[in-house]
Amino acid sequence: MVLNPVISKLAGKLVVLASASPRRQEILRNAGLRFEVVPSWFKETLDKGLFKAPHEYAVETAKQKALEVARRMPFKHLKTPDIVIGADTIVAVNNMILEKPVDKQDAYRMLSSLSGKEHSVFTGVAIVLCHDKDNQEVDYQMMAFYEETKVKFADLSEDMLWEYINSGEPMDKAGGYGIQALGGMLVEYVHGDFLNVVGFPLNHFCKQLDFIYNHSSSFAVEKKGSAHPLPNGSLGTSILDQHGLQKSYEAEKHRSPDSSSPKLTQHIQNTSTNSPAHKVKRTSYESGVGSRSRVSNSSKHNDGESCRITPLNRRQETEQSGTENQPQTQDLKRICELMDGFKASKALFTASRFCVFDLLHNKPGLDAAQVAEEIKASVKGTECLLEACVSLGLLKIKDKAHPKSLFENTELATSFLRSEAPFSLHGYIQHCSETLWPLYSHLESAVKEGVSQHQRVKRQKELCQDSVCSSQELKLRFMNGMHSFAKITASAVATAFDLSRFKTACDLGGCTGAMAYELVKAHPGMSVTVFDLPAVVEMREHFLDHNADNKVSFVAGDFLEDELPKADLYILARVLHDLTDEKLHILLSKIAQTASPGCGLLLSEIFLDEDRGGPSRGLLQALSLSEGKQRSASEYKLLLERHGFITAHIRHTGHLLDVMLSVKA
């Protein structure tokens, strides 16, 4: 793709975003970057007084976040990333740094200090390149930069301030506002990169990548194992122009504690005690991580960790003796990751089932025994579960100096795993656990027989007299699953294209109406009919959004048999992949008969790569062997053309679903 030649340089590399911020993730995904999210455990507690200017604090925090993840992953995740991206956004007014408010009063203090004034939003970004070396060490190189955007707030009345604070939006945002949502109403003007205010300066980031990959001989960016030989010490210094835009680059080769950046070394030593700052020997991670004090205070935790890495250490000893080589280590790690994948899923399902993330949201800082009492489970089992969740980045330890491990949610859990979070995946996780998990546990039979194992799972449940769920409960569970997934994806689908010319839409298989509500929000002139099976429509009251009641209506029917409502735009979101070719043609021909020329068809699915080599999410979903199949964008395009719909636009959103807009010829 011509637009993102730099992003495409990262294809095939293990890119890690050391941030749980959904906004950063969305910006990078929309740019087409594929990456894993490993939230940093680095606490944003650097002494602000040490920094001459606010942006220095943001850059240093970004560096520490990225380095913490880069150093942790080879041990905790058993893989070395190629690139780790860290970022920190702060708001500065009158040379004072504002981070995230801790409570409503703090939000009030921040927002009133911004009222009627211009302030600066700084995002510091650090890019850490990791290089596995033959002797089990990892070398790190770092580039860091920042971007400044000026924002002016209107004069805010007390009523406005409190209405905004009571919306709950300020709480997880630097400076106490989110410009991309309600907070946008407070802003008079923005000078500079808008995305920087949202949380990530995409344009500057791409320029820095371009520098690393296309113009610098100082960065070892070739394939692992063929890195340039690297000189010792610093590779460069940061040169800032008076607008705060970093014209040159700051690149540090992190090889020894006497690195040329005294401040960096000082902070690394604050957090990582006595290990060399940027050259980590895998077998010595235990004594070098930031959580060292907690490890030594909690012998159980320590034991658990030792057990887990012992087999790998043995393997490394063999490798160091020269009988194995580096690529095999990587392969082993990849295989371990695949073998252990189900354990991680099941830990997530179980914690979610016990509502651990709701509990720790309401009562942060409980220890394992307290959690066990609340969820009515054994202390030993709960402790294992909580520690596993910490290792997966879902929970964190509240006070590392405390003799007991006190648990609290990470940002990731707060954003996606609480059942009341606006983008909660709780319902979908339960759907995965209760519906999909049993199906996939019969995968062998599914592959042999080539059909879905729904019937087998049902029979088995009946035999075990396990079917305590009524059909109503099952239906509600399914709808909860669809609803929580759709709430996450609907906004990207609804805004992928300009749909303002369509005044009426019909969402076929629209389930709970999650997409319909998002569409009328994004396109105020539009009204939407949700068309779904009677059994689904009769449950709609559980999911109604009363803010848009008059724009969204529900019609019960079977889209393969009944007459379809008339509309300017038809929506098929996650419907076609579940249909046989025969049913798909029946549905498309019914839409074609009802639609007038110029009508639109918005299709949303995972589009497989044209060579069917990915993405894994689509190919793994196909293993449930539903009646339908997963297709590429050009396969869908051809199917639609057969029914007179000409594809106008295709968008690989880089989000969970891709989108295609076609128009009836």
Ligand X SMILES: C[S@@+](CC[C@H](N)C(=O)[O-])C[C@H]1O[C@@H](n2cnc3c(N)ncnc32)[C@H](O)[C@@H]1O
Q: Which residue has the closest beta carbon to ligand X? A: 509
Looking at beta carbons only, is 111 or 576 nearer to ligand X? 576
In the chain, the amino acid numbered 485 is F
Nearest to 490, CA basis, from 607, 255, 653, 315: 653
Q: Are the beta carbons of 510 and 552 closer than 8 angstroms?
A: no
Handedness of CA 244, 247, 253, 256 (dihedral sign): negative
Looking at beta carbons only, is 397 or 576 nearer to ligand X? 576
Which of 82, 88, 193, 507 is catalytic? The answer is: 88
Least CB distance to ligand X at residue 441 (A):
21
- H helix runs in 191-325, sequence order: 194-198, 202-210, 262-272, 292-297, 299-320
Least CB distance to ligand X at residue 199 (A):
27
Looking at beta carbons only, is 558 or 582 nearer to ligand X? 558
Distance (Å, whole) CA 410 – CA 420:
16
Q: Are the beta carbons of 529 and 513 closer than 8 angstroms?
A: no
Tell me: cis bond preceding 615? Omega within 30 of 0 counts.
yes
- Give how far the C-alpha of residue 334 lies from the chain's centroid of Cα atoms, to the nearest Å: 21
Which residues form the interface with ligand X (CB under 6 A)? Answer: 482, 485-486, 509-511, 515, 532-533, 536, 558-560, 573-575, 578
Looking at beta carbons only, is 361 or 431 nearer to ligand X? 431
- H helix runs in 77-126, sequence order: 104-114
Looking at beta carbons only, is 498 or 558 nearer to ligand X? 558
- Unique residue bearing structure tokens 């048999």: 561
Element (H, E) at 191: strand 187-191
Q: Are the beta carbons of 91 and 98 closer than 8 angstroms?
A: yes
What 3-state DSSP class applies to 615?
A: coil
Instruction: Centre a 10 Å sphere on the Cβ of residue 520 and count the other Cβ atoms it contains.
Output: 23
Distance (Å, whole) CA 214 – CA 20:
29
Least CB distance to ligand X at residue 585 (A):
14
Q: Are the beta carbons of 586 and 560 closer than 8 angstroms?
A: yes
Least CB distance to ligand X at residue 594 (A):
14
Handedness of CA 143, 43, 83, 133 (dihedral sign): positive
Examine the residue annotation and report whether 466 is marked as an active-site residue of this protein.
Answer: no
Token pair recorded at residue 430 = 């339960």
Looking at beta carbons only, is 151 or 573 nearer to ligand X? 573
Least CB distance to ligand X at residue 276 (A):
50
Looking at beta carbons only, is 142 or 575 nearer to ligand X? 575
Looking at beta carbons only, is 240 or 555 nearer to ligand X? 555
Could you give the angle at the alpha carbon of 341 between the alpha carbons of 337 and 346, nearest 5°? 150
Between the alpha carbon of residue 366 and those of residues 362, 387, 413, 416, the distances in Å are: 10, 13, 16, 20
Token pair recorded at residue 201 = 């300066």
Q: Are the beta carbons of 572 and 509 closer than 8 angstroms?
A: yes
- Unique residue bearing structure tokens 């240093």: 60
Question: Would you give the DSSP letter of residue 433?
Answer: I
Looking at beta carbons only, is 86 or 600 nearer to ligand X? 600
Distance (Å, whole) CA 236 – CA 239:
9
Least CB distance to ligand X at residue 433 (A):
17
Least CB distance to ligand X at residue 514 (A):
6
Distance (Å, whole) CA 444 – CA 385:
28
Q: Are the beta carbons of 583 and 651 closer than 8 angstroms?
A: no
Least CB distance to ligand X at residue 536 (A):
4
Least CB distance to ligand X at residue 483 (A):
7
Residues with a catalytic annotation lie at: 88
